């Protein structure tokens, strides 16, 4: 079998997460997230974030994005987000299906800058949609992270225009544990983020994301929206238990850090082998620009996606590390990169 | 702790289902349902249903209903469904949020009759929505089942009007294993059901429903719709593995039959105790009409929901048995009913 | 040609309305309702209603209903309305297409009662949609009107539950000028109506409805919603000018009163001829229960719709009078009714 | 009063259009477009287009766009359209409010090229929306037109990918009568356009657009969609009569040609005055790049919109001519341009 670098959701659950499911499997619990484990996990996450936010659990990332955003918006309001935002490209029109336009902002290595956001918001008049939510992905879809100052600058533009801020945190743990990170989770409410989610699926859980709503006006009636879009599990315990596991002994941070470390080693190895990084490696994803022949050769032993073809000579390979990636896998891949 | 009769999703997973998750936890697999277990489970279900249907897995029942129905409909088309349909009452407007009206049909003990369906469809003209899908719940929300002949009569009305038929099978296994059942799963395609789902959540899984699309026109592009509504899990294996477990050695049928048997015993015991059944007990749910005082007394030791208050004297209690309900629980509850 | 009793939108415009279009046809004006006539008509209507409401013009009744209601609602919120509401039956699912469920209330002669409204709102829990707007049609679709006390009782139920109130006033002028009316337009804001519209199309205009938003929170951003649903005309003057005409010298009230008077005479004549009224005749519509043979005989000379077939013997004919209906038409029809 | 160059919907109706409304005002007619004038206008337009299309009338341009597009699409399908498309920018998210994403294509002077369309369609995979309709605006929002060969090339890309083609013809008459036009209306069905509309509002009518559906599959049930979105007028005669007027003696083409001629003279005058055209002047709109000071000076006597600010020195003024623009107005404006 190939060594897997496809993504960070190829493996099952981390053992400490699975153990929760096994240990509590035979206890009857109330449905729809009213079980004691969901409540315990919610309390724990609220403590970690600080500032008394409301916590909810949703089955997956697209569900989280579409439910939170549509709940934040009135029918004529729109989302401003990056041109490479997952919700813009890879969720099959999930946001628009709830009736809302997404206006995209150009990016460099996955990141928006405040000037572009300002310009695009300012171009809107009464004949257009009304920009209402700025969505920021942290870490970005291209494996980079915003510094605290960069986040602040983006959020300040939104706030200046009376907008709300939503942060897609599918890989938030990876952003917080990146080597160059200067951000902690308690910063998010302080910076003005109104709602965000902490990804579980890409960080050791079988499924599930933890939604954190900082702004109490958004929390009003939010359970109706979760239910309406089918994001709640009847056996809510499935997600509650997994987040209980993830938030014990900082497991969520440790798993992400491991994935980052593996990617950092791989990135360094790729550069040493003379390969070109497409984007800087901030978190657990390494983007390398390869020739089609190089892709073909690597593909024999390694599983990964080519996510863009810049031209006939330059194809962008995405190599993703996860909590389950081993040093051996990295060493072997680097060795094979050396002989490309 | 109270003895649980709240619902059939209070417990964790059946051991044979959980075992699949544990046994295959450490194998890397492709994401989004392209793993080998999902494919194996899909093949197995297709064999069981017969006639070469397309199989998909979706995270929950509301998700399944809203995704299948909205995929079957054009924007001006509507669903005809029973007035007590789950999608009509208990999914927070999930269908309407996808843009479609539900026109309701009166029921008796949860069941529609063909005359009412015919009348309601016929009342529609060009100024109204266009009825396009007849939704039938089998077993119904009030714990009853349609006989094969009754199903055929309903489906024939729909087909006569050029409509499609969708069956909400959250408790399909219970309907198939009911004592008075004369229906097998292979009958569904033959009767003209275009799409249905086989519930996992209420029958021993932690989450997940298996969608069966019989009509190939509906299967076209269906994965786009699943993704758009966020019903697909990145770790699709979570559902695939569980259905692999459920469809080994007829586990899904055996679990449902056990739940039905427990309910049958309970129902009989209730009648022997002089209590009045609100609806006949066909499957795993017993509806009993109690006084508020009786409710209060039973509630001390038993957990259950009062789902309707007919008047000040008559409250409807729903007592649900599951694959995990024990004979001891039933015996004890019957004994306490006797002394009400 | 048949004598027309089909509806109240069979004729062109009243001459005083058409004259406005002709007189000002050659003046250039700003588009999208920023012309001076639209502004003048808006000011005039605001004065007539009192209490400083915001006024908007929308091209038609379905447009008005769907735009106002969807603007009042968040995604998980629903409308409570009568089972014979136009928006429930004859707008092809317009409300649901904006993502919202309508929960219907039974009616008698087109009217809801507060007990039913209370009961239906109270049945809603967190698993269902959230009732947010009570829609009342005045006059009703079955030609009856609510008294001021009846309106107050309905509105009070809504307010008690923290809901908003919207009034569909396609035939509001007819309700206000009905013989038994005890309501003036200045009562509506005082009673707690948050938004309503004054119908133009069915009362002498070629098109157009005047939307009155009493509650300033609903007025916020309302122009975005009008535009999004295409209810604004580029040549907004078309509607503005017509409403200028309608609100000069109480034309809108006089036209409706004429239509009511014609219907009152017709209704009396029908009863004198031994025919049975299906509903009381409060405004400009007369509902008569006829045999199929009687329908056929009347149909030779008179154009009207059979709107319901109670059974094989009893068909409900709707005979609508308008501002353009003449006494001669009425006299002739009564005479022919006498010889049925 | 300023001389109006704001847009082509500042005036009332052309006299021959208004005359139809006046002449037939007193005849009773069936509602909802079943009147004889609507039917006559529809037959006439079908003859002019050729090939037996279905004709419908809708109240305005946004209505036409949103109704046709949403009727053409299933829920997971998207529109490919130019980045300056009216539906993309100036309809307040009308398309997205029906649940569909618009994917934009870069333009030069308002026009897309087939290579970009091909590239963008090809980038779509199963994780994204499914491109289903290519929308082309003819004439474009920047006052340019596609040649027949250019249209063919765009349409061929769409057809190669199994897509449908919709043409927004708000100013179709202007495109057909442009000096450099090589296209006739009968070409549209032959080139593969599946549906389009012929604008009335911007070409001499008070309101109304004529929708032409070439592809019979799209025509199925289209009246349901018109009604659902409120685009039908109860007094359908209002639009039918106006289009009867527009299609008598080629009035629609003559009015557009006049507007184009006025703009051509103005464009030439601007160039002669040393001003820079932002885009070539193909139809009735002249785009001139001015300094803010020049804008201010012209604004004293002339009404027009600045539609873009390229930078502090270069503002784009849009000067629109209409069927009602006079040679005197043009002469005067040119003279004043000369002294800027």
Kindly state whether C323 is in contact with chain D, defined as any CB-CB distance less than 8 angstroms.
Answer: no
Task: Identify the closest residue of chain B to D223 by CA–CA distance.
Answer: B126
Q: Which of D294, D287, D297 is nearest to D321 (CA)?
A: D287
The stretch D34-45 carries a mean pLDDT of 98
Report the distance separating Cα B63 and Cα C161, nearest Å: 30
- The alpha carbon dihedral of D270, D275, D280, D284 has a sign of negative
pLDDT tens digits, one per residue of C48-107: 999 999 999 999 999 999 999 999 999 999 999 999 999 999 999 999 999 999 999 999
> Would the CB atoms of C101 and B100 count as touching at under 8 Å?
no
> Would the CB atoms of A94 and B228 count as touching at under 8 Å?
yes
Please report the pLDDT score of residue D340 as a whole number: 87
DSSP one-letter string for B67-89: HHHHHH--TTEEEEEETT-HHHH
Q: Are D200 and D209 in contact (CB under 8 A)?
A: yes
The stretch D185-205 carries a mean pLDDT of 98
Mean pLDDT by 10 residues, chain A (340 residues): 96 98 97 97 98 97 98 98 96 97 98 98 94 98 98 98 98 98 98 98 98 98 97 97 98 98 98 97 98 97 96 97 98 95
> Would the CB atoms of B59 and A60 count as touching at under 8 Å?
yes
Statement: residue D65 has pLDDT above 90: yes
CB contacts of A120 in chain D (<8 Å) are: none
Please report the pLDDT score of residue A250 as a whole number: 98
Report the distance separating Cα A158 and Cα A112, nearest Å: 13
Q: Are C161 and C131 in contact (CB under 8 A)?
A: yes
**C89, C90, C96 ranked by CB distance to B99: nearest:** C96
- Min Cα–Cα distance to chain C from D92, Å: 5
Local confidence band at C150 (pLDDT 50, 70, 90 cut-offs): very high
Q: What is residue D193's DSSP assignment? A: -
* pTM of the predicted protein model: 0.97
> Would the CB atoms of C230 and D227 count as touching at under 8 Å?
no
- Min Cα–Cα distance to chain A from D158, Å: 20
Q: Are D177 and D171 in contact (CB under 8 A)?
A: no
Neighbors of chain B by Cβ distance (3+ pairs < 8 Å): A, C, D
DSSP one-letter string for B126-160: TTSPEEEEEEEESS-TTS----HHHHHHHHHHHHH
Please report the pLDDT score of residue B32 as a whole number: 96
Average pLDDT, chain D: 97
> Would the CB atoms of A234 and B60 count as touching at under 8 Å?
yes
Kindly state whether A97 is in contact with chain D, defined as any CB-CB distance less than 8 angstroms.
Answer: yes
Q: What percent of chain D has pLDDT over 70?
A: 100
Report the distance separating Cα D80 and Cα B161, nearest Å: 35
Residues 6+ apart with CB under 8 A from C115: none
Please report the pLDDT score of residue C340 as a whole number: 87
Kindly state whether B334 is in contact with chain D, defined as any CB-CB distance less than 8 angstroms.
Answer: no
Which residue in C61, C66, C96, C312 has the most chain B C-beta atoms within 10 A of its own C-beta, making it the best mutation to test that interface? C96
**D71, D127, D223 ranked by CB distance to B75: nearest:** D71
> Would the CB atoms of A129 and D99 count as touching at under 8 Å?
no
Kindly state whether D102 is in contact with chain C, defined as any CB-CB distance less than 8 angstroms.
Answer: no
CB contacts of A96 in chain D (<8 Å) are: 78, 96, 99-101, 129
Report the distance separating Cα B149 and Cα B147, nearest Å: 5
Kindly state whether A3 is in contact with chain C, defined as any CB-CB distance less than 8 angstroms.
Answer: no
Q: Which of A167, A148, A86, A143 is nearest to A262 (CA)?
A: A143
DSSP one-letter string for B2-47: PEE-S-S-SS---HHHHHHHHHTTTS---STT-SHHHHHHHHHHHH
The ipTM value here is: 0.97
Low-confidence ranges of chain B (pLDDT < 50): none
Please report the pLDDT score of residue C126 as a whole number: 87
Regarding beta strands B164-168 and A164-168, do their DSSP bridges make them parallel or antiparallel, or are they unpaired? unpaired
**Three-state DSSP string of chain A:** CCEECCCCCCCCCCHHHHHHHHHCCCCCCCCCCCCHHHHHHHHHHHHHHCCCCEEEEECCHHHHHHHHHHHHCCCCEEEEEECCCHHHHCCCCHHHHCCCCEEEECCECCECCHHHHHHHHHCCCCCCCEEEEEEEECCCCCCCCCCHHHHHHHHHHHHHCCCEEEEECCCHHHHHCCCCCCCCCCHHHHHCCCEEEEECHHHCCCCCEEEEECCHHHHCCHHHHHHHCCCCCCCCHHHHHHHHHHCCCCHHHHHHHHHHHHHHHHHHHHHHCCCEECCCCCCCEEEEEECHHHHHHHHCCEECEEEEECCCCCEEEEEECCCCCCHHHHHHHHHHHHCC
Residues 6+ apart with CB under 8 A from B166: B68, B69, B72, B79, B133, B134, B135, B136, B193, B194, B195, B196
Note if the bond before B318 is cis, omega within 30 degrees: no
Q: Chain A to chain B, count of Cβ pairs less than 8 Å apart? A: 168
- Min Cα–Cα distance to chain C from D40, Å: 17
Statement: residue D268 has pLDDT above 90: yes
Q: Which of residues 206-245 of C touch B (CB under 8 A)?
A: none
Report the distance separating Cα D300 and Cα D337, nearest Å: 12
Tokens 């004890």, residue located: B332
> Would the CB atoms of A128 and D75 count as touching at under 8 Å?
no
- The torsion angles phi and psi of D325, rounded to 5 degrees, stand at -65, 135
pLDDT tens digits, one per residue of C4-57: 999 999 999 999 999 999 999 999 999 999 999 999 999 999 999 999 999 999
pLDDT tens digits, one per residue of D145-181: 999 999 999 999 999 999 999 999 999 999 999 999 9
> Would the CB atoms of C130 and A75 count as touching at under 8 Å?
no
Report the distance separating Cα D227 and Cα D242, nearest Å: 20
**D97, D102, D127 ranked by CB distance to A92: nearest:** D127
Exposed, middle or buried, A336 (CB in 10 Å: 0-12/13-18/19+)? middle
Residues 6+ apart with CB under 8 A from A53: A46, A189, A212, A213, A214
Please report the pLDDT score of residue C1 as a whole number: 85
Tokens 């849009």, residue located: D318
Please report the pLDDT score of residue B126 as a whole number: 87
Note if the bond before D139 is cis, omega within 30 degrees: yes
**A12, A25, A201 ranked by CB distance to B234: nearest:** A201
Report the distance separating Cα C251 and Cα C79, nearest Å: 33
Report the distance separating Cα A138 and Cα B273, nearest Å: 61
Measured at the CA of B163, the angle between CA B161 and CA B166, to 5 degrees, comes to 140
Q: What is the CA radius of gyration of chain D?
A: 20
The stretch C170-196 carries a mean pLDDT of 98
Please report the pLDDT score of residue B340 as a whole number: 87
CA distance between the termini of chain C: 21
Q: Which of D163, D120, D129 is nearest to B225 (CA)?
A: D129
Statement: residue D277 has pLDDT above 90: yes
Q: Identify the H or E element spanning C78.
A: strand C77-82
Local confidence band at D331 (pLDDT 50, 70, 90 cut-offs): very high
> Would the CB atoms of A9 and B1 count as touching at under 8 Å?
no
- Min Cα–Cα distance to chain A from C295, Å: 46
Kindly state whether C309 is in contact with chain B, defined as any CB-CB distance less than 8 angstroms.
Answer: no
């Amino acid at each position: 079998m190939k060594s897997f670098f496809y993504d960070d959701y190829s493996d099952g659950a981390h053992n400490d997460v699975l153990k929760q499911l096994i240990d509590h499997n035979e206890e009857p619990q109330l449905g729809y997230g009213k079980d004691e484990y969901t409540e315990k996990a919610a309390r724990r996450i609220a403590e970690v974030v600080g500032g008394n936010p409301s916590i909810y659990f949703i089955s997956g990332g697209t569900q989280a994005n579409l439910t939170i955003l549509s709940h934040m918006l009135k029918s004529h309001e729109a989302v401003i987000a990056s041109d490479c935002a997952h919700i813009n490209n890879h969720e099959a029109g999930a946001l628009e299906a709830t009736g809302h336009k997404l206006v995209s902002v150009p990016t460099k290595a996955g990141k928006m800058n405040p000037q572009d956001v300002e310009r695009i918001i300012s171009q809107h008049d009464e004949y257009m949609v009304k920009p209402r939510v700025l969505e920021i992905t942290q870490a970005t879809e291209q494996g980079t992270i915003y510094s605290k100052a960069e986040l602040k600058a983006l959020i300040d533009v939104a706030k200046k225009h009376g907008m709300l801020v939503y942060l897609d945190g599918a890989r938030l743990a990876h952003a917080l544990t990146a080597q160059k990170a200067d951000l902690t989770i308690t910063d998010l409410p302080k910076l003005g983020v109104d709602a965000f989610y902490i990804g579980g699926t890409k960080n050791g859980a079988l499924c599930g994301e933890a939604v954190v709503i900082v702004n109490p006006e958004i929390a009003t009636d939010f359970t109706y929206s979760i239910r309406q879009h089918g994001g709640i599990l009847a056996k809510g315990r499935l997600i509650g238990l997994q987040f209980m596991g993830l938030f014990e002994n900082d497991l969520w941070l440790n798993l992400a850090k491991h994935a980052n470390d593996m990617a950092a080693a791989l990135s360094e190895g790729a550069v040493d082998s003379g390969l070109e990084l497409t984007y800087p490696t901030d978190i657990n994803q390494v983007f390398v620009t390869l020739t089609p022949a190089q892709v073909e050769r690597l593909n024999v032993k390694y599983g990964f996606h080519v996510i863009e073809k810049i031209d006939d000579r330059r194809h962008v390979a995405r190599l993703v590390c996860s909590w389950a990636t081993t040093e051996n896998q990295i060493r072997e891949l680097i060795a094979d990169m050396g002989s490309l």
